[in-house]
Amino acid sequence: MKRTASIFAALALVVVFTAGAMASDQTGTLTPVQYARAEQTLLNGLQEDNLGVKEGSAYMLGELKSAKAVIPLMKMLRDGDQESTRIVAALALCRIGDPRGLYAVKRATQFDDSERVAQRCAWFYNSYVKAGAFEFAAVGSPDATEMAKR
């Protein structure tokens, strides 16, 4: 029952945010009360066992640029069992732009056990924080097997 309610809540949030997707800034379509409720629901979603709910909540917290989500997302980036979970956490942290989260993403480019996660972290850091912070090999070049040079 709890799992069904969580999935329903996540789907309801997706519908709410999709309706406002035409606006360039997601937070501009929400009143302060709506923002606080959505933020709290999404923060609760980070605690769920359902991977889709957890990752969807992380993504939407990044879209909302939630300052309250920085610490839980940093934990998700550091301790996530799945590569996809850590990648979504890194994207959300870069979208939020808090210096603590950005530092965590930058460190993940060097210390994450997964090359895929490290590459995505470098890509997000280049895209959202500082262009040129990491060098990438051109497609088809001899170095293309190692996309992000550490």
Residue type, 111: F
Structural domain tally of the chain? 1
Q: Is residue 150 part of a domain?
A: no
Residues 6+ apart with CB under 8 A from 44: 57
Q: What is the pTM of this model?
A: 0.75
Whether 123 and 132 have beta carbons less than 8 Å apart is answered as no
When pLDDT is cut at 50, 70 and 90, the band that residue 132 belongs to is confident
When pLDDT is cut at 50, 70 and 90, the band that residue 150 belongs to is very low
Q: Is residue 118 part of a domain?
A: yes
Q: What is the pLDDT of residues 66-124, one digit of tens each?
A: 999 999 999 999 999 999 999 999 999 999 999 999 999 999 999 999 999 999 999 99
Q: Is residue 13 part of a domain?
A: yes
Provide the residue range defining the domain that includes 26: 2-145
Read off φ and ψ for residue 9, nearest 5 degrees: -65, -40
As a whole number of angstroms, the distance between CA 39 and CA 42 comes to 5
Q: Is residue 96 part of a domain?
A: yes
Q: Is residue 111 part of a domain?
A: yes
Q: Is residue 141 part of a domain?
A: yes
Query: For position 60, which CATH number holds?
Result: 1.25.10.10
As a whole number of angstroms, the distance between CA 65 and CA 85 comes to 18
Q: What is the pLDDT of residue 138?
A: 58
As a whole number of angstroms, the distance between CA 31 and CA 47 comes to 25
Bridge partners of residue 148, in order along the sequence? 136
Q: What is the pLDDT of residue 17?
A: 47
Q: Is residue 79 part of a domain?
A: yes
Q: What is the pLDDT of residues 19-60, one digit of tens each?
A: 444 334 445 688 999 999 999 999 999 999 999 999 999 999
Q: Is residue 135 part of a domain?
A: yes
**Residue 38 CA neighbour count, 13 Å, CB half:** 26
Read off φ and ψ for residue 88, nearest 5 degrees: -65, -40
